[in-house]
Amino acid sequence: MKASFDAQITAALFDATGAIFALGDGSVRFDTGEFSAAHDGAVLCAVVHPSGDGVVTGGDDGRVIWHRRGEAGVLATAKGQWIDAIDASAESKLIAFSAGKTLSVIDAVDAGFRRDFVHERTVSGVAFDPKGRRIATSTYGGAALWFARIAVQKPTFLKWAGSHTAVAWSPDGAFVVTAMQDNQLHGWRVKDQKNLRMGGYPSKVRAMSFLANGQLLATSGAQGAVLWPFVGSNGPMGREANEIGFDDSTLVALVASQPRHGLLAAGLNDGRVWLADPAGQGLNFLKADKGAPITALAMSPDAGRVAWADEDGQAGVFTL
């Protein structure tokens, strides 16, 4: 499938049915042709609904909207605030989103449930742990860990100086990793808050994705895809990262993978998209022609398809 949209694509995702694209004009487009124009303004963040049916988006209109093929409905609002980050858990059926300094949690099966957790500084990233019971947020000075359903609590704060811009849990729940404003990652082992310094990037890391049963963390931000080892109880402590697909003429803009599978997709600043098995040899270029930078990239849950989109509104879905 190839498509051309008249707005920049801010996210690409796969639900249980197919590929979905979220756009800067506030609309959501499905690869089956349906579209939902529910936001008044841009879609800033998107995640697959916990049911696997459609996507939940956050917009600069302060609304959280569930889009399905043929219908859309508002799940929550944050008056006067942009929805900056969002995540969802199929395990706990919870959806978490940030607006300004507040992390909010709603329940996909209980419309009356909502929790709001206020931080000292703006929240930039949100991520559920593998069981969907705890939420990590990235903010200035580190990451906060919250229990998703407990109303009154003091979070565990994982400290590291600087501005943290995105956050991820390892698939075993043992580590939390953040991307930082200053061209590096930082991580913590949750059980003892031991720090993991993960630096050496030539540019900011915009994407992090685990693969190979959680044994590798792939990131963007370099001339190739950077792979950090997460084998054993120490993760990448004292270990070097590997880089695959090195090309000194461009940078990897985005990476996409699935935790249980071994394949990695990368979208480049020069418009190309490649697929690789880090355990094997060589790159398979899914999109070999150069063009506008890749702005959205996703791999389907079964690792059988890759969706991409670029800055000019061009998009495509490859079946592997």
Q: How many folded domains does the chain comprise?
A: 1
Asked if residues 83 and 45 have their Cβ atoms less than 8 Å apart, the reply is yes
CB contact at 8 A, 137 and 123:
yes
Q: Does any domain span residue 58? A: no
- Pull the structure tokens for residue 5: 């949209």
Instruction: Classify residue 121: in a domain, yes or no.
Output: no
- pLDDT score, position 51: 98
For position 218, what pLDDT does the model report? 98
Q: pLDDT tens across 188-244, in order?
A: 999 999 999 999 999 999 999 999 999 999 999 999 999 999 999 999 998 999 999
Inform me whether the pLDDT recorded for 281 exceeds 80.
Answer: no
Residue 238 lies in a domain: yes
Query: pLDDT (tens digit, 9 = 90+) per residue, 230-247?
Result: 999 999 998 999 999 999
Report the chain's mean pLDDT, rounded to a whole number. 97
What pLDDT band is residue 183 in, cutting at 50, 70 and 90?
Answer: very high
* CATH (domain of 215): 2.130.10.10
Q: DSSP letters of 156-191? A: EEEEEEEEEEEEEE-TTSSEEEEEETTS-EEEEETT
Structural domain includes residue 270: yes
- State mean pLDDT over 290-311: 98
Q: How confident is the model at residue 303 (pLDDT cuts 50, 70, 90)?
A: very high
Given a contact cutoff of 8 angstroms between Cβ atoms, the answer to whether 13 and 48 are in contact is yes
pLDDT at 108: 98
pLDDT > 90 fraction of the chain, expressed in percent and rounded: 97
Do the Cβ atoms of 214 and 172 come closer than 8 Å?
yes
pLDDT tier, 96 (very low <50, low <70, confident <90, very high otherwise): very high
Count CB-CB contacts under 10 A for residue 246. Answer: 10
Using pLDDT thresholds of 50, 70 and 90, give the confidence band for residue 2.
very high
What is the extent of the structural domain holding 260? 204-320
Which strands form 2-4's sheet, in the order they lie side by side?
2-4, 314-319, 305-310, 294-299
Residues 302, 132: Cα–Cα separation, whole Å: 21
Q: How confident is the model at residue 151 (pLDDT cuts 50, 70, 90)?
A: very high
Q: What is the pLDDT of residue 10?
A: 95
Token duo for residue 271: 């418009």
Please give the average per-residue pLDDT across 148-165, as a whole number.
98
Question: Does the pLDDT at position 318 exceed 90?
Answer: yes
Quote the pTM value: 0.97
In a domain, 212, yes or no: yes
> Does residue 22 sit within a domain?
no
Confidence of residue 38 (pLDDT cuts 50, 70, 90): confident
155 found inside a domain: no
Q: Is residue 301 part of a domain?
A: yes
What is the arithmetic mean of pLDDT over 137-148?
Answer: 98
206-224 as b/e: b if 16+ CB within 10 A: bbbbbbbebbbbbbbbbbb
Residue 176 has which token pair? 């939390």
What integer pLDDT is reported at residue 79 of this predicted model? 87
